[in-house]
Structure 1
Amino acid sequence: MNKNDLRVLKTKQNIHLSLTNLLKKKPLTQIKITELCKQANINRVTFYFHYQEIGDVFKELFEEIMIDLRKSYNEPYRYKEYIDREKLDPKTVRIFHHVKKYEEFYKIILSKEVSTEYYYMLFDEIRSILIEDKHTAYLEEKDYLFSYMSNSIIGLIIEWYRRDFQESADKMNIHLVNILKLY
């Protein structure tokens, strides 16, 4: 079956949504395949056709969300090769729109009840985005700087999470741009 087949896409989307709903109630390690199948209203054969274990579903979901994060991070560069921090337009920043789009997922991975493994997965992904950014290639002491920058982005997301994502994504973009102008 083609992975771009609409039936496959809908099934996987349903499984991802079901896993997200279960993760609101319990850690990944406590979720059983039977439970996920019941939540997704699929049979075990369908599950095993696409995955070997629950962790594979989480990995696929995480990767899907991180692909969207990369696109969101790169959005300001879509029409400009170089961006001057002083002239950065908050309307071109898309990171917080991404977080809002996947708000339920971020609520799970930023929760105090889950393993710090999720934090480090997010940290590593953001850090790799920064490392691959050709606009930061000139920077020295990259290891520490990219770690600092990654935690800065996550720090803004955590503060927004603590406020239950009440501010709009546009307002968060303004916060980020204002902070960037300070440095």
Structure 2
Amino acid sequence: MTHAKKDPRVIRTQRLLRAALIDLMEERELEQITVQDIAERATVKRATFYLHYEDKQALLTQCIDELLNELREQVDTAESDYESFDYLSGEPHPSFVRLFHHISVHYNFYTAMLVKNRVAPFAEGLLKVIHEFVSRGIDRTEPDDGNLTARREVVVKYVESAFLEVIIWWLERQMPYSESDMAAQLMNLSIHGPYIRIPGRRNPQ
């Protein structure tokens, strides 16, 4: 079964409306934004907005779904990529780099959704993607529970929560470290924790 091609004019209008919503969300809270505001920023008529979306929530939902689906595709990694990667190389895994690259490319969107506004559906959806990413990575790199410092479900929850908060911190500070640097730091924290050596243990003389 073949799907009908979407009218380029429809695609263009929806892109304008999505961009307008994100622009406005960088300036003010979502509750203060009206459909009229979005239409004016997108340089279309209010009636045109309603040809495409029932309300601003429908537009927001489409924006969130599209971005999270794109992120999920970006960080999805084949089994062979985990098996062939050298974890002692000091280099971040490509999937970690792709995660931060996606955030960097869509900086305005992430900032609008997580910093300027804390949009619950987006934060929850992002956390779900990160959960899948972290859980899959830990399962593939270390299937033996005996080699984990805590129960697997606790490890996954700890790492995914840290991921989300670090991402928000990075956005709030306008990405002070590069994508690859952030990827390397987060990967090292995920695998080794915050310490190079056990705290309190003195170096041998």
TM-score by length of 1: 0.80
3-state DSSP of counterpart to 1:110: helix
Please name the residue that 2:159 is paired with: 149
User: What are the equivalent positions in structure 2 for 1:1-183 lying under 5 Å apart?
Assistant: 4-75=6-77, 77=78, 80=81, 82=83, 83=85, 85-86=87-88, 89-90=91-92, 92=94, 93-111=97-115, 114-115=117-118, 117=120, 118-130=122-134, 133=136, 136=139, 143-182=153-192
When the two chains are superposed, the root-mean-square deviation of aligned CA atoms in Å is: 2.9
Q: Look at both structures and tell me which one has the larger radius of gyration over its CA atoms.
A: 2
Deviations 1:13-43 (A, max 9, x none): 1111100111012222221111111110111
Retained in 1: the 8 A contact 2:76–2:133? no
Retained in 2: the 8 A contact 1:108–1:114? yes
Retained in 1: the 8 A contact 2:39–2:49? yes
d(CA) in 2 for partners of 1:16, 1:44: 14
3-state DSSP of counterpart to 2:174: coil
d(CA) in 2 for partners of 1:25, 1:4: 31
Structure 1 portions without partners, runs of 5+: none
Structure 2 portions without partners, runs of 5+: 146-150, 194-205
d(CA) in 1 for partners of 2:91, 2:9: 40
Identity score, percent? 23
Retained in 2: the 8 A contact 1:20–1:104? yes
3-state DSSP of counterpart to 2:81: coil
Q: CA deviation at 1:158?
A: 2.2
Deviations 1:33-69 (A, max 9, x none): 1111111011123211211010111111111111121
